[in-house]
């Protein structure tokens, strides 16, 4: 079964855009601070602002060079996913050129309409607001960017916007249960620019058993939206036991940070347990009977908020 899911390898490669999900469009936002005359005094891509202020991410400093900042983020993304052979700098540069060829610049005296896909409430300083920085039109594969805000960003935010558009494009065009807000895309993007994210495979023991869960397959036998995880039995200090699942991909979503689900062996039906992750916020698992596998079998229903995304047999 072909099941490997990587994010950094998808970045801006032309083959990654021909996905079979719904035809949609998505936005990218910035926190913009203006003076009384409406002139921009400061601006930062929302992903980085939110990750630093609300999620505790230690964001890399800007180098003043967009290519250098973008390259650091891509390589950090590979490192977090445990990829041994990352893309070369020339491949990354070629990918940036592909992105630039998709850009349409909005005149400086015009503003983009609000897409309204942030998906969460974010507090910003006085005299600042969240403004539409970019809109990716999936139907034409074009990205419209506000020149006014773009030229007020530092190099790190410019690199983060480029990465955001690619990550969000991937997540909202997933073949199954595609994202309808940019919430998870912003965190996934910011993880690539952070110094304190725990890598996705950290702590996986050699005795752990790898499993792949898949609900639907393509004609060539590959999984459409795989969930890949490692299972290990844990012995607790009180003598009880637990089953630990550590995910490297979840319903087709590549993971950048350690993402675990721990379930006591004496679990009761319909119990709900949190999925612990710096990347996936508000995800959980509900344990139910799996009658298709026998009277004592159970499975975990995976939820993003109140929306069931997938399930895995335990």
* Nearest one of 1, 2, 5 to 248, comparing CA atoms: 5
Q: Which residues pair with 186 in a beta bridge?
A: none
Q: Distance (Å, rounded) from C-alpha 285 to C-alpha 304?
A: 9
Burial code (b: 16+ CB inside 10 Å, e: under 16) for 40-50 equals beebbbbbbbb
- The pLDDT tens digits of the residues spanning 106-152 come to 999 999 999 999 998 899 999 999 999 999 999 899 999 999 999 99
Residue 189 backbone class (left: φ over 0; alpha: ψ -120 to 50; beta: rest) = alpha
> Tokens at residue 273, please?
């347990």
C-alpha distances (whole Å) from 119 to each of 29, 40, 176 are: 12, 25, 19
Report the percent of the chain where pLDDT is more than 90: 72
Question: 42-77 pLDDT, tens per residue?
Answer: 999 999 999 999 999 999 999 999 999 999 999 999
Phi, psi of 209, deg, nearest 5: -100, 125
1 — pLDDT class (breaks 50, 70, 90): very low
């Amino acid at each position: 079964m072909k099941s490997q899911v990587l994010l950094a390898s998808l970045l801006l490669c032309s083959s990654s855009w021909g996905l079979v999900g719904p035809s949609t469009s998505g936005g990218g936002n910035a926190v913009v601070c203006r003076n009384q005359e409406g002139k921009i005094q400061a601006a930062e891509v929302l992903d980085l602002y939110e990750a630093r202020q609300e999620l505790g991410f230690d964001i890399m400093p800007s180098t003043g060079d967009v290519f250098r900042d973008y390259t650091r983020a891509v390589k950090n993304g590979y490192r977090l996913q445990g990829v041994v052979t990352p893309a070369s700098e020339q491949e990354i540069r070629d990918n940036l050129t592909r992105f630039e060829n998709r850009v349409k610049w909005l005149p400086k005296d015009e503003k983009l309409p609000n897409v309204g896909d942030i998906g969460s409430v974010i507090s910003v300083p006085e005299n600042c607001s969240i403004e539409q920085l970019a809109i990716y039109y999936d139907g034409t594969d074009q990205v419209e960017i506000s020149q006014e805000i773009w030229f007020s960003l530092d190099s790190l935010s410019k690199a983060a916007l480029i990465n955001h558009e690619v990550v969000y494009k991937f997540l909202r065009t997933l073949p199954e249960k595609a994202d309808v807000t940019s919430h998870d895309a912003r965190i996934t993007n910011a993880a690539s620019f952070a110094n304190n994210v725990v890598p996705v495979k950290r702590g996986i023991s050699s005795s752990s058993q790898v499993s792949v869960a898949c609900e639907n397959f393509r004609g060539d036998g590959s999984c459409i939206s795989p969930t890949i995880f490692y299972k290990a039995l844990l012995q607790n200090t009180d003598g009880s036991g637990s089953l630990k699942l550590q995910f490297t991909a979840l319903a087709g979503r590549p993971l950048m940070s350690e993402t675990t689900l721990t379930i006591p062996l004496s679990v009761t039906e319909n119990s709900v347990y949190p999925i612990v992750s710096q990347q996936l916020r508000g995800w959980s698992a509900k344990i139910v009977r799996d009658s298709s596998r026998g009277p004592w079998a159970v499975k975990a229903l995976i939820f993003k908020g109140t929306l069931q995304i997938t399930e895995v047999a335990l």
